[in-house]
A and B are shown apart, each in its own frame.
Chain A
Amino acid sequence: MDVQEATAEGTSTAENGEVKRDGRKQFSMGSGDILEGKLIYDGSVHADGRVEGEVRVTGNIDVANGATVKALLEGGNVTLKGQVEGMVTARDKLTLGKNARLSGDIQARRLQIDDGATLNGHVRMGDFEHQASGQ
């Protein structure tokens, strides 16, 4: 436990917003945070505030309600509750929450769209050209 905490602290100092959760890293943003650029991350991302660019993770992507994302998103399970503009790829499951507003193409193995969500884009389900990546 001590060793794990130490490694967690060491990585957290190296990378902003990292939190240890069940042996997985998470990049967590606040509602006032801004991320611009390309993020390739071995873990999960909780996106909030404003994100512009490209986010590719090996874990899951969670876009919070109220967040504004203009980016290419790629993750295992992708859950959208905020406003997203850009292509979204979910290697496993993509979920659009009731407040989600997505303008962009979708590629997902499984898809769930809750009543109230807004979607404008092309939807593809099945195998993927892009593999999980970052590497």
Chain B
Amino acid sequence: MSTRRPASRVATPVPAENGSNNGGRSSIVLGPRDRLVGELYVEGDLRVVGTVEGNLEATGDIEIAGSGKVNGDVTAYNRLTVGSDASLIAGDVRVARLTVEDGATFSGKVSMSKQTAAKAPAPAPAPHPLHEAQLQPVAEIPPPQPVAEIPPKQPPEPVTVQVAETPTPPAAVTPMQKSRISVSEALNRTVAGPSQQKSKVAPTPPPKPIQQKGKRR
């Protein structure tokens, strides 16, 4: 008995082959004694030999083999296989490829056009938090922000362009005008200022002393 138990344990889960990673994709096996009640999302392949009551979704293949029984919606991004002794009673079955072996029990609404297989998973994974986290950043980053930012930038850009064009002439003009004005004003001021000062200062003092000197001499 002791030898049989470890052997049977190894046989049903087969952890070495299935539980480990297969090139980054997980592979889950529900053995004949295993039972799942609820939802399961797998990024990889799923093999059901046991009983599942709930919805299954896998990015790879789903195989219901042996005496496996699934009662729930099934979404396989790639392939669904229902074995000859297996049972699938579903509401919706969304798969890209479907194989049902003779003898299997199969019922449900099947959608397996290439469009539904490719597009259906996209809306379907919305309830899953993983997909929301994956989809939201991708959707948020590219579309709205750059589009919203670009148009406001464009109107200021032409302004800057006009500024860039205008500054050279007006900048050249204004300093010239300022310089001309300032120079002319300065000249007028300087001319008017010193000339008056000179005329007032120059004539008044020299004639007085000259006349005084001349008159005195």
Please tell me if the beta carbons of A123 and B108 are within 8 angstroms of each other in the complex.
yes
- Tell me the bound Cα distance from A114 to B97 in angstroms: 9
> Does B26 lie at the interface of the complex (its beta carbon under 8 Å from any beta carbon of A)?
no
Query: How far apart are A78's CB and chain B's nearest CB, in angstroms?
Result: 13
Assembled-state Cα–Cα distance A30/B110 (Å):
31
Interface residues contributed by chain B, number (CB under 8 Å): 19
What secondary structure prevails in chain A residues at the interface with B? strand
Q: Residue B17 at the A interface, CB < 8 A? A: no
Q: A110-B102, A110-B103 are in contact. Are A123 and B110 (CB under 8 A)?
A: yes
Bound complex: CA A114 to CA B107 (Å): 16
Q: Does B18 interact with chain A (Cβ within 8 Å)?
A: no
Q: B112 within 8 Å of A by Cβ?
A: yes
Complex Cα–Cα for A115 and B99 (A): 5
Separation of A121 and B109 alpha carbons in the complex (Å):
6
Q: Are B110 and A119 in contact (CB under 8 A)?
A: yes
B102 touches A93 (CB 8 A): yes
A115-B97 CB under 8 A given contacts A93-B102, A110-B102, A110-B103: yes
| In the complex with contacts A113-B98, A115-B97, A120-B113 CB distance below 8 A | yes
5 more CB-based (< 8 A) A-B contacts, given A112-B100, A113-B98: A93-B102, A112-B101, A113-B99, A123-B107, A123-B108
The 3 A-B residue pairs whose C-beta atoms are closest, nearest first, are: A113-B100, A112-B102, A115-B99
